[in-house]
Copies of this chain bind each other. A is one copy, B any other.
Amino acid sequence: MEPVDLRELLEQVKAGKLSIDAALELHKPAVADLGFAQVDLQRRQRCGFPEVIYCQGKTNEWIEGVVRKLGEAKQHCLATRVSDEQAAHLATQFPTALQDRIARTFWLPAGALEPALGHVTIITAGTSDLPVAREALVTARALGCNAHLLADVGVAGIHRLLRHQHEFSGADAIVVVAGMDGALPSVVGGLVDCPVIAVPTSIGYGAAFAGLAPLLTMLNACSANVVVVNIDSGFKAGYVAAMIARRAARFD
């Protein structure tokens, strides 16, 4: 798609090394067309990780089809928001895959993994935030990053956080998961020199409005190093944190 590629094609065609039809074929992006899905097999190359399957609203057959296609292409396969029923179906089809029922994830790597790079810490304000945090954990590890979890250190007892400060102050990126007031990322952000990815959760009383309250809190975080992802989106937080951490670590 980039000029340099096209120049190569043109040169090879001009030199007679390549037929025009072959050149046109090469110029096409690698997509597996399943009818109900266009699996983007080029994403690993473009973005550093294969397409991830979001399972909500999909039939077992659709999910299974994409898993198989990624497997045929020798690409890692991560799926999120896997329902109990989908998990059971996938377990019969892909018995070697790793499924985490708290995180609702499915993980079927394409082969042996490379050594993990970089360090991500995932922190939760409360115990009820654990499922979202686990989704971030599984994702960060799937992306090839070292990741660990520190649970239930919300701001109502700020000393719980401060006594663990040495555990996260050396991280390359931190994910903070919080519902209710969503205040924890602002505090963590003020204690460290790395990016903080804040994830609002839908945990809380009525005026939390299913995650709207902590979402707004986090968007308004007074610490300059806090960025935000969608409500309950542990996946995206783990993804970006791992991307930052690996990038930071790759020249170590």
A201-218 vs B, CB cutoff 8 Å, 1 = contact: the mask equals: 011111111111111111
Chain B positions within 8 Å of A156 at CB level: 40, 43, 186, 189-190, 222-224
Chain B positions within 8 Å of A221 at CB level: 180-181, 183
Chain B positions within 8 Å of A162 at CB level: 1, 29, 158
> Oligomeric state, in number of copies?
8
A169 to chain B, nearest CB (A): 8
Is A87 located at the chain interface by the 8 A CB criterion? no
CA–CA, A185 and B247, complex, Å: 20
A1-32 interface (Cβ within 8 A of B)? 1-4, 6-7, 9-11, 13-14, 16, 20, 23-24, 27-29, 31
Q: Is the CB of A155 within 8 A of B187?
A: yes
A47-67 vs B, CB cutoff 8 Å, 1 = contact: the mask equals: 111011010111000100000
Is A72 located at the chain interface by the 8 A CB criterion? no
Chain B positions within 8 Å of A49 at CB level: 224
Chain B positions within 8 Å of A228 at CB level: 219, 227-229
A211-250 interface (Cβ within 8 A of B)? 211-233, 235-236, 239-240, 243-244, 247-248, 250
Q: Is the CB of A210 within 8 A of B206?
A: yes
Chain B positions within 8 Å of A154 at CB level: 222
Chain B positions within 8 Å of A248 at CB level: 244, 247-248, 250
Interface-lining segment among A92-100, A104-112, A191-199: A191-199
CB contact under 8 A between A206 and B183, given known A1-B162, A7-B20:
no
Q: Is the CB of A172 within 8 A of B62?
A: no
Q: Is the CB of B190 within 8 A of A187?
A: no
A33-51 vs B, CB cutoff 8 Å, 1 = contact: the mask equals: 0011110101100111101
For this complex, 12 residue pairs linking A to B, each with C-beta atoms less than 8 Å apart, are A1-B162, A62-B127, A155-B187, A156-B189, A187-B187, A204-B230, A205-B232, A206-B233, A207-B212, A225-B240, A248-B250, A251-B251
